[in-house]
Amino acid sequence: MQQPPLQADDLNVRLGAETPVRLYMENAMLSGDLYIPPDAMGLVVFAHGSGSSRFSPRNRFVARELNEAHLGTFLVDLLTPEEETADAATGYFRFDIPRLAQRLVQITEWTETQEDLAKFPLGFFGASTGAGAALIAAARRSDLVRAVVSRGGRPDLAGPYLEKVAAPTLLIVGGFDEPVIDMNKEAERKMRCATELKIVPNATHLFEEPGALDEVAQLATDWFRRFLR
């Protein structure tokens, strides 16, 4: 079913400063934080998952590293505050991958209507369950999405969309995150696009070990700078 177009407050992008964004869709209002460096070469939209939000310190860290590498970032919540509250108690919404993917598609289409954003090649950074949503959205809008990075992700949640992803995809997993390693290996076998699996040694699911998140950020930066040109 055709979704009504996403609406937003007038966008006033300030280069080199964080810009709050409010996005309105049917029965939902989503919040995001947009940062465009003065010399940006691309834009990366973050898809959070597993009870996380745009305030995730891990994703914020990666976003800052991308900004230093001349990449714009858009950290946007895919759940409303009410949905986040319910999800904290039940865990239901984080696994509603079709809902998350549809919202990410709408956000992607909205960026194409914004003069300050449409000029940038677009990539997705998906974490945990958000990676499944990012891959579905990348498959559905393969004309717009140029690169995908998954951190500790669940690409298996993209199901039959995996083989439809065209954007080069980097899968990053911690060396101690054994069940997720297996899920990512299986997803990699199903994907037909350019795909790489990078395992960060001695890292667990959240990459909390010294230097682990730094490696994630460097891998993501190199991938996006390679393909968002």
Q: What is the model's pLDDT at position 11?
A: 83
Q: What is the model's pLDDT at position 163?
A: 97
Residue 173 domain boundaries: 7-227
Q: Parallel, antiparallel, or unpaired: how do β-strands 169-174 and 28-35 relate?
A: unpaired
Supply the pTM of this predicted model: 0.92
Q: Spell out, as residue ranges, where the chain has pLDDT lower than 70.
A: 1-6, 50-52, 87, 89, 91-92, 94
Whichever domain contains 185, its CATH number is 3.40.50.1820
Residue 52 domain flag = yes
Residue 169 domain flag = yes
Residue 1 domain flag = no
Residue 2 domain flag = no
Domain count for the chain: 1
Q: What is the model's pLDDT at position 1?
A: 42
Q: Parallel, antiparallel, or unpaired: how do β-strands 122-127 and 145-151 relate?
A: parallel
Strand partners, 6: none
Check residue 70 and give left, alpha or beta (phi > 0: left; psi -120 to 50: alpha). left
Residue 192 domain flag = yes
Q: What is the model's pLDDT at position 36?
A: 97
